[in-house]
């Protein structure tokens, strides 16, 4: 059975209230057409896990502007003033996480780890509510894994099995999210036959990808 489906069918997998991981770094490597399809839908109350909320008109930021998001777990919201405005107004819950910790939490969620100890955030408000563990005299925070119901990712070249190559800086959080979500949807810039991607250049194994959209380019 082919993994290639329409944008509409793909977005049907996303239900109100779900937790969604969105690949990309300020929109670079994000699944822009999937985001647009969600934007046009009535889906609401999403929890978004993403590096940032991008821009009001670009990337996952559009969903914030469109009031489809109730909570964001992210490292940076400075490029999307609407995120900050909704947060200050009490309309949106925002959990700010150091970027390396966020990446590692998503990795841990996909790698079956129960958590990890990081020195990042020690002595800051990031400590709040977290267990502190001392190893060899040095303090660390115990950070817990993150998982999502659905990951929507931006792939540069995707083969029909789902193997993904992310070009240049589009990789960022995409391969981590592919590991830690129950359902994985990749938006492809280009779809190729199985075997056309060098096995060393496969950054997300096709076995982890449930659906492929796009490829029109």
Partner 1 sequence: MNSKEFIARRIAKELKDGDIVNLGIGLPTMVANYVPENINVTFQSENGFLGLGPAPEEGKEDKDLTNAGAQPVTMLNGGCFFDSSMSFSIIRGGHVDITVLGALQVDGKGNLANWMVPNKIIPGMGGAMDLVTGAKKVIIGTEHCTKKGAPKILKECIYPLTGANVVDVIVTELAYMTITDKGLVLEEIAPNVTVEEVISKTDAELIIAHNLKIMDIE
Name the segment binding a second copy (CB under 8 A); options: 23-31, 32-40, 133-141, 146-154.
133-141
Binding positions for partner 1, 139-198, rule CB under 8 A: 156, 159, 161, 163, 167-176, 179-180, 194-195
Given 40, 85, 127, 144, the residue binding a second copy (CB under 8 A): 144
Q: How far is 58 from 54, CA to CA, in rounded Å? A: 6
Given 15, 88, 133, 194, the residue binding a second copy (CB under 8 A): 133
Could you tell me the smallest distance in angstroms from the CB atom of residue 121 to a second copy? Answer: 12
∠193-215-169 over CA atoms, to 5°? Answer: 100
Given 140, 146, 150, 186, the residue binding a second copy (CB under 8 A): 140
Query: Among all chains, which residue has been given the structure tokens 């096995």?
Result: 199
Alpha-carbon distance values, 216 to 7, 13, 79, 171, 190 (Å): 12, 21, 29, 20, 7
Query: Among all chains, which residue has been given the structure tokens 């950070």?
Result: 143
115 touches a second copy (CB under 8 A)? yes
> Is the Cβ–Cβ distance between 213 and 4 less than 8 Å?
yes
Binding positions for partner 1, 45-84, rule CB under 8 A: 51-52, 74-79, 84
- Here the tokens at position 39 are 């934007």
Query: Among all chains, which residue has been given the structure tokens 């020690």?
Result: 122
> Is the Cβ–Cβ distance between 215 and 192 less than 8 Å?
no
Alpha-carbon distance values, 8 to 24, 35, 59 (Å): 21, 11, 18
> Is the Cβ–Cβ distance between 117 and 133 less than 8 Å?
yes
208 touches partner 1 (CB under 8 A)? yes
Q: Where do contacts with partner 1 occur on this chain (CB under 8 A)?
A: 25-29, 51-52, 74-79, 84, 87-88, 96, 98-101, 103-104, 106-107, 110-113, 118-126, 156, 159, 161, 163, 167-176, 179-180, 194-195, 199-200, 202-203, 205-208
Q: Where do contacts with a second copy occur on this chain (CB under 8 A)?
A: 104, 108, 111-119, 133, 135, 138, 140, 142, 144, 165, 167-168, 198-201
């Amino acid at each position: 059975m082919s993994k290639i489906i329409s944008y509409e069918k793909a977005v049907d997998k996303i239900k109100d209230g779900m937790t969604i991981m969105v690949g990309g770094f300020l929109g670079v490597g994000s699944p822009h057409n999937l985001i647009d399809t969600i934007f046009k839908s009535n889906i609401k109350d999403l929890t978004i896990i993403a590096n940032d909320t991008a821009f009001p008109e670009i990337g996952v930021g559009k969903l914030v502007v469109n009031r489809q998001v109730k909570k964001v777990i992210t490292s940076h919201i400075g490029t999307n003033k609407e995120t900050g405005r909704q947060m200050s107004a009490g309309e949106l819950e925002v959990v700010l996480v150091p970027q390396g910790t966020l990446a590692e939490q998503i990795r841990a969620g996909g790698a079956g780890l129960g958590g990890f100890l990081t020195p990042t955030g020690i002595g800051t408000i990031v400590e709040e509510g977290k267990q502190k563990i001392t190893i060899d005299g040095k303090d660390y925070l115990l950070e817990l894994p993150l998982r999502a119901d659905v990951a929507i990712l931006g792939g540069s070249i995707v083969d029909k099995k789902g193997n993904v190559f992310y070009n240049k800086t589009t990789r960022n959080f995409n391969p981590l999210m592919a590991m830690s979500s129950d359902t994985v949807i990749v938006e492809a810039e280009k779809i190729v036959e199985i075997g056309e991607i060098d096995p060393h250049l496969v950054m997300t194994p096709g076995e982890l990808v449930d659906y492929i959209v796009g490829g029109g380019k």
